[in-house]
Amino acid sequence: MAFSTQRPVVDAATLAASIQEQTDRRELQCSVMALAVKLGLVMLGCVSIVRLSIAYQERLERHGEIDAVVTVETAKLNTLQQRFDHLFSIGGDQRLMSEQDQWIAPNRLRIIWR
């Protein structure tokens, strides 16, 4: 009995179908990988947008707090500027002395109790 070492003869149509099947499989693998990469990028974009929106909200809250403090301090500054201008107008020294009633008159002695 003799064994034949020759390969079986494959016709051209079977060979073309086999090559087409391999090509389709590779295209499917590449499409799946491309879809996975795109989904990963979309997820990364969504996470980035969420994180940016949270940071933006925090920044807006801080801005609101700072704006409130600036408003209060500006009102205080305006009040103090008006008082300062009022003290340096005519008769301002007398108004200052009348406001400062805890001051001791020049001809009085201060008594400190122990």
Q: Judge whether 43 and 35 are in contact, CB under 8 Å.
A: no
**Domain of 18, in residue numbers:** 14-97
Residue 5 lies in a domain: no
Q: How many domains does the chain have?
A: 1
Residue 114 lies in a domain: no
Interhelix angle for 92-99 vs 12-87, to 10°?
Answer: 100
Structure token digits, residue 30: 């590449």
Residue 111 lies in a domain: no
pTM over 0.75: no
Report pLDDT digits (tens) over 7-52: 666 688 898 899 999 999 999 999 999 999 999 999 999 999 999 9
Residue 7 lies in a domain: no
Q: What one-character-per-residue DSSP string does 62-106 give?
A: HHHHHHHHHHHHHHHHHHHHHHHHHHTSTTHHHHHHHH-TTSPPT
